[in-house]
A and B are shown apart, each in its own frame.
Chain A
Amino acid sequence: MDQQAQDIAISGKHRVFSLLRIWAISRNTFTQLVRMKVFYFMLIFSALIIGANLLFLSFTFEQELKILKDVSFGAMSLFASIFAIVGTALLIPKDLEDRTLYTILTKPVPRIEYLIGKLLGILLLIAVSILLMSLLFFAVLYIRQHGILAEKIASIPRQVSEADIESFRESIFSRGLQPELLLGVVAVFLKAAVAAAVALFVSTFASSTLFTIIVSLVIYFIGHAQALALDFYFAKGEMHSAGQRFFAGLIGVVFPNFQLFNVADGLTAGEVISTSLMARLVGLTAFYLTIYSLVSWLVFAKKEL
């Protein structure tokens, strides 16, 4: 009797799903990556955008600012996606190889919590690095647009009227630091998040880091081209038979359409993106994260360690 009561007490003590445990795993993942000195990449990033700045001073301000934005967004997207795929691929198979996983899973930690914790840790790293990169990017853009304005005013020999300065500022700044750029930054994050979820899924059945990276990269690239391929096979989205729809749907789930996340490409060309579209992009990301986490869990829950 007494013993039974104690058993119940033990099982009652255990929380089926605990955000604290997930947070512990995420924090740990983040700390681990930080201590692997991944943030040294910021040096490369700084060199890239400052280099882009120095190289193309001779162009029109419009082009100069565009190149600065292109290089920054390009580098942000590249680093974020690399972190997403390589970071995930480095950590989970390594936990398995080193048997560190044994010590974690023999604590009262459900396997789904381990997966979610790892994914969140990677997302945290991506978020922090994108934050750092965009801060630097915005700072350089801010400095540059003021520099261009000053150069412009200085280049005019006569006295410049207040109204002229205002119109220069308007035309230069409208190509510079604009709030829309934040949408591009968010899209870079969303894309990397989906890439991380893909890598998480791959690493649940892959046995090595290298395999995970290669397979994830393949999915990543096919994902970029899938819309193109589907367009090619089904001219302009006309899919007739149920079989074709199913096929297209299957491709869509296995290979996320990463092309949709390239918002920055449009933004740098001065296009506008509606909030509803952005909201749906967030929705799509949530959908992919959920699907990939669930499938990862299905594989991982049964995995013999």
Chain B
Amino acid sequence: MANSSTPAVQIEGLTKVFRLPFKQEKVVAVDGLSLQVDAGEVYGLIGPNGSGKSTTMKVLLGLISPSAGKASIFGLDSGDTASRGSVGFLPENPYFYKYLTGSETLAFYGKLCGLSRKQIRERSDELLEMVDLTGARDRRLGGYSKGMLQRIGLAQALVGDPRLVVLDEPTAGVDPAGSRKIRDLVLELKRRGITVILSSHLLEQVQEVCDEVGIIFNGRLVREGKLNDLIAIEDQSEIVLQNATPQLLERIAEMVEGEEGAQLLRCGNPRTTLERLFLQEIKEGSKQGGEDA
């Protein structure tokens, strides 16, 4: 069924080149990137700072136009205002009108989505409850904390009842409890069948919520796939020990050395697998980049 329906997001050969004003230099922010997100999926776009995550999202949302390639949402081209009818977006480090209260903010964005007065009232009650801001609904945003702003931003993204939600670094600058809350919200969206794209470099959360992950580096999508597939490394095994003495570890190392073809790669406290993968991709990417130059 997923195959027969239009993908929620389709990006093909997307390239974005920024020309710096008054300089000859060009910055290639996104370089021939293609990806597809099916409806109902939670897609994680991960990559280090400056790898092109935000740029990709901006093109997808029509904030900037692509230098080459194209992006579409539910089959509608990103350049078309109508494509934004079914999207909610939370930019990174969002900043709203600080003179408005929480509920006024939602009312404002609701009106932009063409909701009626009654719909706005119902939607904002529901969303404020959902993001845990009912108590702060009549306070001005100027007095909101970073986490509260992030949550009102999320509510704002959801006010138009979107089928696709785009979250740029939703957990940046939010404390662990806050990011846990946001993760729960994403899972809630997923449960409701809403497609989500989120970007992050905090891998733990991506790992927990994403169905599919794309690793982006220097504007290129270097790896993509189901999370489990990416994590599984067939020719490697992991032994996790508890209370191992240095002597025991030495003995294991000796045993491995004795074995034909086997090799002990490293020894220490285990990392999350996705993070390891991520670092590895970066290492390869920069090696490649070095060769290119």
- Whether A and B touch (Cβ < 8 Å) is answered with yes
In the bound complex, do residue A18 and residue B114 qualify as a contact, i.e. CB atoms below 8 Å apart?
A: yes
- Tell yes or no: A104 within 8 A of B by CB: yes
Q: State in angstroms the CA–CA spacing of A100 and B94 once bound together.
A: 7
Report whether over half of chain A's contact residues are helix, strand or loop; otherwise say mixed. Answer: helix
Q: Given contacts A3-B6, A103-B91, A106-B61, is CB(A10)–CB(B108) below 8 Å?
A: no
- Tell yes or no: A39 within 8 A of B by CB: no
8 Å CB contacts to B: which residues of A69-84? none
Distance (Å) between the CB of A81 and the closest chain B CB?
A: 24
Measured CB to CB, the nearest residue on chain A to B75 is A7
In the bound complex, do residue B111 and residue A20 qualify as a contact, i.e. CB atoms below 8 Å apart?
A: yes
Q: Which residues of A contact B243 (CB under 8 A)?
A: none
Q: Given contacts A99-B91, A102-B91, A108-B84, is CB(A10)–CB(B74) below 8 Å?
A: yes
Q: Which residues of A contact B160 (CB under 8 A)?
A: 107-108
Q: Which residues of B contact A7 (CB under 8 A)?
A: 6, 74-76
The number of chain B residues with a CB under 8 A from chain A is 42
Q: Which residues of A contact B85 (CB under 8 A)?
A: 10-11, 13-14, 108
Measured CB to CB, the nearest residue on chain A to B63 is A305
Q: State in angstroms the CA–CA spacing of A24 and B113 once bound together.
A: 10
- Tell yes or no: B81 within 8 A of A by CB: yes
In the bound complex, do residue A21 and residue B114 qualify as a contact, i.e. CB atoms below 8 Å apart?
A: yes
Q: State in angstroms the CA–CA spacing of A104 and B113 once bound together.
A: 10
In the bound complex, do residue A36 and residue B99 qualify as a contact, i.e. CB atoms below 8 Å apart?
A: yes
In the bound complex, do residue A3 and residue B5 qualify as a contact, i.e. CB atoms below 8 Å apart?
A: yes
Please tell me which one of the listed residues A3, A100, A302 contacts residue B95 in the complex, with CB atoms under 8 A apart: A100
Q: State in angstroms the CA–CA spacing of A14 and B113 once bound together.
A: 9
In the bound complex, do residue A11 and residue B76 qualify as a contact, i.e. CB atoms below 8 Å apart?
A: yes
Q: Which residues of A contact B171 (CB under 8 A)?
A: none
Q: Residue-by-residue, is A1-35 near B (CB-CB < 8 Å gives 1, otherwise 0)? A: 00110010011011110101100110010011001
In the bound complex, do residue A20 and residue B114 qualify as a contact, i.e. CB atoms below 8 Å apart?
A: yes
In the bound complex, do residue B94 and residue A108 qualify as a contact, i.e. CB atoms below 8 Å apart?
A: no
Measured CB to CB, the nearest residue on chain A to B18 is A304
- Tell yes or no: B230 within 8 A of A by CB: no
In the bound complex, do residue B74 and residue A99 qualify as a contact, i.e. CB atoms below 8 Å apart?
A: no
Q: Given contacts A24-B108, A103-B156, A108-B113, is CB(A32)–CB(B99) below 8 Å?
A: yes
Q: State in angstroms the CA–CA spacing of A18 and B108 once bound together.
A: 14
In the bound complex, do residue B108 and residue A99 qualify as a contact, i.e. CB atoms below 8 Å apart?
A: no
- B62, B104, B113, B114 interface centre (most CB from chain A within 10 Å): B114
Distance (Å) between the CB of A28 and the closest chain B CB?
A: 5
Distance (Å) between the CB of A231 and the closest chain B CB?
A: 38
* 10 A-B pairs with the lowest CB-CB distances in the bound complex, closest first: A24-B111, A35-B99, A106-B89, A107-B112, A98-B95, A14-B82, A102-B91, A108-B85, A14-B85, A305-B63
Known contacts A102-B94, A109-B112; can you find 20 more A-B pairs with CB under 8 A?
A: A3-B4, A3-B6, A10-B85, A11-B82, A11-B85, A13-B85, A14-B81, A24-B108, A28-B97, A99-B91, A100-B95, A102-B61, A103-B90, A103-B153, A106-B166, A107-B84, A108-B82, A108-B113, A109-B81, A110-B81
